[in-house]
Structure 1
Amino acid sequence: MTKKVLILAEVRENSLRNVSFEAIAAAKDIAQGGEVVALLIGSTIEHLAPELAFAGADRVVTIEHPHLQCYTSDGFSQAVLAAYEQEKPDALVFGHTSQGKDLSPKIASRLQSGLISDVVRIEVENGTAQFVRPIYSGKAFETVEVAEGLTFVTVRPNNIAALPKDTTKAVNVSSLKVDIQNLRTVVKEIVRKTTSGVDLSEAKVIVSGGRGVKSAEGFNVLQKLADVLGGAVGASRGACDAGYTDYSLQIGQTGKVVTPDLYIACGISGAIQHIAGMSNAKIIVAINKDPEANIFSIADYGIVGDLFEVVPLLTEEFNNLLLSV
């Protein structure tokens, strides 16, 4: 049965995040030939609407308001609920990002709906969408099906491939006026603490460090490799707790969950909490002096050695390889 699906696009630094396009692809599977509507929320964001149409959205609805320039759960929930009332969709799709994880439970509660979070794969059987998600810190997977009512899911970045873009597609954009009011929080300033211009949760390559990096200066070695590979730098909680880097880079059960194409773990022992945040990476390379480190049990490739010797060699080799292409 065809369905209307409403997806929430995400904007970061005046550009659409990749998870927006992945959400459209997920919505297509759920819609089964029905309509996919992209919701774009912000202050001055209408110029981004064509990208959503080219990525597969049948329509784009924009909600612009000065109070929506920065994300707040109060402001964005008012906008999403207004769009929901106008569109009356059969399904909602958000990204399983910091924004999506904050906003989706609030919307689900207001709509008295269930919520299937952290979906990594969608399978369609006999016309019914089934959602695969990790459980028990990624040690197992469950398949969930919605029996009745609203289908509401969040999709993990880098797991559902975006559709090929069609720049010849007609762009159907409409605006919805919403009076955003009664905000309990106001964002005065955003200070981003990152070591790379690449968004960690959407990076295709991540070079991550643990306590074995030994110092904040030690992360400079990892940054050089990440820069060569066009990736981002991450960290274990141990490295963050030790003050080597900021908690915004933490990967794990209590940090960011990432699914890059390549994950290089440097000086990380492999605690289960860290593995929960990166075990679904397509290729995992572990570098550690301890041959018994738990990280080797999930690694596709393991290098037993001092990261301060191995990582610069990798950086040099990758740099030479790229220069020769």
Structure 2
Amino acid sequence: MSTDNLQEYNGLWVFVEQGDRKPARVSLELLGKGRTLADKLGVVVTAILIGQNVTEMAEELIFYGADRVIIADDPIAKDYRTEIYTDIIFEQVLKEKPEILLIGATCIGRDLAPRLSARLNTGCVADCTELDIDKEMRLIVATKPFFGRDLMADIICPFHRPQMVTVRAGVMELKDQDRKRQGELIYIDVNLKKEDTKVKVLETIRSVSDSISLEEADKVVAAGMGVGNKEGFEMVKELAKLLGAQVGATSLPVDEGWISDDKKIGQTGKTIRPKLYIGCG
């Protein structure tokens, strides 16, 4: 929202994505980073949690850095749908006026963030790699690559609130829990009805994998087109198997069909933080 009175806006919010009865890792990473940024501004961190039977997750969010958790618990909000989630967050932002809103750059976050920023008439910096605070101007400084990652840009949003940012999983460090932290749980009544959305979720099919995700892997062996062909890439897979590592790839091997899209790393794929990384080709 464009405003002449920026002092009306205060606080840092994190949208908490959830599934399988637990918060998404990227949301916990953002709570830790948000805690650091909020301390520089001297403001509180608020997590906004939407879904069905999500109250049990709220205490964990406080352990990871939230001072307050706004909880919208409703059966209609069980599955993510753009209209419903946008409406809920929009109304709460209008009511409480946070100055910063952080969202994970997941499939859901990349759908929600642009729609919400358009509704709020504010800017949103997508896929950031670093966040900092300009304390004098009370601005979040969002760093992201552009022009094919050849340059890094620091982007600010000085005249609109809230300042919105999306960050991919694995970019920010997952901080340790502080189980001594205490916070406030705020329950909001959203009174959702089935007719509030034109979209109906018929079924949710989750991918089945016998391996841990790339984002959580301690060891990764990755390759690009330099391995030459599919047979060369199979050798990379064998090396990863011998080392007990996960396999990653740049865009071209994925495009060639040598490996599935969920193994793509880099600007258009996943961000990884392994203890051991071996790049081939």
TM-score over 0.5 (shorter chain): yes
**Structure 1 runs of 4+ off > 4 angstroms?**
201-205, 209-213, 215-220
* Greater relative contact order structure (CA < 8 Å, 6+ sep): 2
Matched, 1:259 2:276: no
Matched, 1:41 2:58: no
Report the TM-score when normalising by structure 1.
0.70
Name structure 2 gaps, 5 residues minimum: 1-6
Q: Which amino acid aligns with 1:49?
A: A
Report the TM-score when normalising by structure 2.
0.80
> Match of 1:133, SS?
strand
* 1:187-202 alignment runs, 5 A limit: 187-193=201-207, 195-201=209-215
1: CA distance, partners of 2:235 / 2:78: 37
* 1:150-299 alignment runs, 5 A limit: 150=161, 151-178=163-190, 179=192, 181-193=195-207, 195-201=209-215, 203=217, 205-209=219-223, 212=227, 214=230, 221=238, 224=241, 228-229=244-245, 232-253=246-267, 255-261=268-274, 264=277, 285-288=278-281
Give the count of matched residue pairs: 264
2: CA distance, partners of 1:96 / 1:131: 14
> Per-residue deviation at 1:197?
4.6
Residue 4 of structure 2 corresponds to which residue in structure 1? Answer: none
2: CA distance, partners of 1:9 / 1:173: 14
Q: Which amino acid aligns with 1:256?
A: G
Residue 19 of structure 2 corresponds to which residue in structure 1? Answer: 12
Identity value in percent: 24
Residue 105 of structure 1 corresponds to which residue in structure 2? Answer: 114
Name structure 1 gaps, 5 residues minimum: 265-284, 289-325
| Residues 262-319 of structure 1: CA deviation (Å, up to 9, x unaligned) | 574xxxxxxxxxxxxxxxxxxxx3223xxxxxxxxxxxxxxxxxxxxxxxxxxxxxxx
Q: Which amino acid aligns with 1:95?
A: G
- Alpha-carbon distance change, 46 to 224 in structure 1, aligned in 2, over 3 angstroms: farther
1: CA distance, partners of 2:20 / 2:211: 11
Residue 71 of structure 2 corresponds to which residue in structure 1? Answer: 62
C-alpha contact (below 8 Å) 1:236/1:251 kept by paired residues: yes
C-alpha contact (below 8 Å) 1:207/1:225 kept by paired residues: no
Q: Which amino acid aligns with 1:69?
A: K
Residue 268 of structure 1 corresponds to which residue in structure 2? Answer: none
* 1:20-35 alignment runs, 5 A limit: 20-31=27-38, 32-35=41-44
Q: Which amino acid aligns with 1:185?
A: V
C-alpha contact (below 8 Å) 2:13/2:100 kept by paired residues: yes
2: CA distance, partners of 1:205 / 1:99: 27
- Alpha-carbon distance change, 203 to 75 in structure 1, aligned in 2, over 3 angstroms: farther
| Residues 125-147 of structure 1: CA deviation (Å, up to 9, x unaligned) | 44433221111232211112221
2: CA distance, partners of 1:139 / 1:235: 20
> Per-residue deviation at 1:204?
5.1
Q: Which amino acid aligns with 1:4?
A: G
Residue 148 of structure 1 corresponds to which residue in structure 2? Answer: 159
Q: Which amino acid aligns with 1:48?
A: M
> Per-residue deviation at 1:217?
7.2
C-alpha contact (below 8 Å) 1:235/1:251 kept by paired residues: yes
C-alpha contact (below 8 Å) 1:113/1:149 kept by paired residues: yes
- Alpha-carbon distance change, 204 to 168 in structure 1, aligned in 2, over 3 angstroms: same
